Amino acid sequence: MLILISVLTVFNLILNGQDTITIKPWSVSLSYAPKFEIWRPLNPTKEIFFKSFEVSVNKKLSQHFSFGFGINYQNMKKNDHSLTFDGGIEKDLLYDFTYIDFPIQMNYHFLINHKKIDPYVKASFINSYYHSFFEAKGIDYYQSDTYDKYFICWDLGIGGLLKINKRLSLMCQASLGFGINHYNPQYTFFKSQIGLSYNLTKIKVNS
């Protein structure tokens, strides 16, 4: 898909009469991305998803703008124990929550000719698949339930790239997000990311 977009861009620029064309590189990043849910009156959840990772593909559109898309996996498991006094039943409880997010991100870069640090602000539109699993087990007792739903969220944040060498950069981001379509009306979260970004080779074409 990336190769097809680059080829179509090259042909378009050649047809417009440009002699030397440089296609700005794509980059691929892998990051650790913990998410912290923020308590609000209509958003009672305040879970922390420490098991969270994101893979994304990014493209520089101009000197100031870039966009990216990717996939983010988050999972959290909780174990508990309960005792019902009326029946005297002891139960082991398991809660398993999973988010699979598909973010589309737009960035504005402050510096044009950065040598080491590339700071930017970001905004993301996030399609999210949510799955929860509940299980209660005891002596002569078993109950389970699942819940699946699609949500839409958005976030605003800041980020930066710290250049390590020509191809590799350290990537850091922090953002505050909100639910657009979520079962909690005031769903709010803080998300941080730290990882590595790898730049693919620039393409130069002479017509």
Q: Which tokens in the block code for residue 143?
A: 């109950």
Distance between CA atoms of 99 and 127, rounded to whole angstroms?
10
Q: What is the pLDDT of residues 40-91, one digit of tens each?
A: 887 777 889 999 999 999 998 888 999 999 999 999 998 887 766 556 677 8
C-alpha distances out from residue 40 to 46, 95, 99, Å: 9, 22, 20
Q: Which tokens in the block code for residue 22?
A: 């440089």
Q: Please, what is the Cα angle at 106 between 8 and 65, to 5 degrees?
A: 65
Distance between CA atoms of 165 and 48, rounded to whole angstroms?
34
* CATH architecture of structural domain 25-206: Beta Barrel (2.40)
In this prediction, residue 153 has a pLDDT band, given cuts at 50, 70 and 90, of: very high
Locus of tokens 């005297």: 88
Distance between CA atoms of 64 and 107, rounded to whole angstroms?
8
- Who contacts 17 (Cβ-Cβ below 8 Å, separation ≥6)? 207
pLDDT over 90 percentage in the chain: 57
Domain borders along the chain are 25-206
Q: What is the pLDDT of residues 22-53, one digit of tens each?
A: 556 799 999 999 999 998 887 777 889 999 99
**H helices of 84-153, where?**
none
